Amino acid sequence: TKLEARAQCEATAEAQADRVADLTKAHQQLQHELDRCTRDRKGLLQQVEDYDGQLKARSESAAQLQRDLSQSQTDLQHRTNKCAGLEAQLGTLQIAHEQLVGEVEALRAAEAAHVQTLQHEELTRLRSALEQSQMEQQQQRQQLQGLQAELQEMADQKAKVQEKLTAGSGRIQ
């Protein structure tokens, strides 16, 4: 039974290490997506500022374009808030990830010291924590995909506003 416990401990430690590697990779992918989202957001904010300056110099037809721009700014603020929420969730996920890494290292240390018994409750808690982390990671992926779709929609709206600005500029001149 000692050998069985040790083999079970080794298998669990290996599985935990694989899971930690998967979580690390997923975390890096989420961070990359978040960085891209932040860059896109800054570019969109600059475009909004540029459009606002142009609209103030236009005549009567600029009033409709100003309303369109205001809606775009509202949408952008909504997406900015979502980015902030994702950043907070990512921080929470990172803390949970670091805790899991520590727990895996503790399991390895226990194995190296030839611990005779493994507490079933600890393994159950670790599995539950990993499953929770996996669910949170899936939610993060879904939120990032939704945000990417919204950002694409925002880019499409910006292109429409630019077309209206260009058309309005031609009529004014």
Residue-level pLDDT at 156: 92
Does pTM surpass 0.85?
A: no
Please check whether residue 77 lies inside any domain of the structure: yes
In this prediction, residues 113-133 reach a mean pLDDT of: 71
Give yes or no for a contact between 86 and 140, defined as CB atoms under 8 angstroms apart: yes
Query: What percent of the chain has a predicted confidence (pLDDT) above 70?
Result: 83
Residue-level pLDDT at 60: 56
> Which residue in this structure is represented by tokens 């930690």?
20
Please check whether residue 70 lies inside any domain of the structure: yes
> pLDDT per residue over 80-91, tens digit each?
888 788 888 888
Give yes or no for a contact between 134 and 25, defined as CB atoms under 8 angstroms apart: no
Please check whether residue 46 lies inside any domain of the structure: no
Please check whether residue 144 lies inside any domain of the structure: yes
Residue ranges making up the domain that contains 71:
2-28+65-162
Residue-level pLDDT at 125: 80
Please check whether residue 42 lies inside any domain of the structure: no
C-alpha 24 chain-centroid distance:
14
Give yes or no for a contact between 161 and 65, defined as CB atoms under 8 angstroms apart: yes
Please check whether residue 48 lies inside any domain of the structure: no
Please check whether residue 53 lies inside any domain of the structure: no
Instruction: Please tell me the number of Cα atoms within 13 Å of 171 on its side-chain side.
Output: 11
Rounded CA gap, 34 and 84, in Å?
Answer: 10
Please check whether residue 132 lies inside any domain of the structure: yes
Q: How many structural domains comprise the chain?
A: 1
